[in-house]
Structure 1
């Protein structure tokens, strides 16, 4: 048996705010978008490198307030890039944890928590 990668689905409620956060602020790119018809909920995929997230306006796809942990190398550099964007709703800080990681937690406009995690060298 072989398991593949995991692609989390995060609930969103506003396309403009979602794109502002995930694309303009975090630096993901939109891979594709889908609506069954005009004026229907949006479902889309965003990615950065090998990290892939699905964002959905569909009721029942996910619950607001979810959390995802994303492995990263170079968290301090990424934090400085984010701070330089001067995004009104987030000024992320990096925290060193007791379990040997550096973590940067950011809430999206819908209450989902995106946590970037870097393993500290021994």
Structure 2
């Protein structure tokens, strides 16, 4: 097994969050609830990148910032109708998911 870090993002509605992350090219891997009606904990993945989306209040703070490096930021920007910015380290956009979590998404220029 390779070692990795998986950020946890706080979401209010896991189904709505999964739908939004699917627009970024993520797919739902699994969902867990301790019992019906209790908060969901979901994994989404895009290639080798994974995120946990949690409805549990104590797992993460709203408004978290995650950097995501992709091969083609222009394709992502087009999907969301935003214009990338050329920075010294990357061509980059910033998006907010439905829960206010920030994603800086870019293609490195170095």
| TM-score, with length taken from structure 2 | 0.90
Runs of 4+ in 1 over 4 A off after TM superposition: none
Matched residue SS, 2:18: helix
Where does structure 2 lack aligned partners over 5 or more consecutive residues?
Answer: none
Matched residue SS, 2:74: helix
Where does structure 1 lack aligned partners over 5 or more consecutive residues?
Answer: 84-90
- Alpha carbons 1:93, 1:105 under 8 Å: kept: no
Task: Give 1:14 shift.
Answer: 1.1
| TM-score, with length taken from structure 1 | 0.82
The answer for the alignment partner of 1:35 in structure 2 is: 33
Larger radius of gyration: 1
The answer for the alignment partner of 2:67 in structure 1 is: 69
The answer for the alignment partner of 2:8 in structure 1 is: 9
Task: Give 1:100 shift.
Answer: 2.6
How many corresponding residue pairs? 109
The answer for the alignment partner of 1:86 in structure 2 is: none
Give the aligned CA root-mean-square deviation in angstroms: 1.6
Write the deviation string for residues 15-67 of structure 1: whole angstroms up to 9, x where unpaired.
232122112x2221000100000000000100010110000000110000001
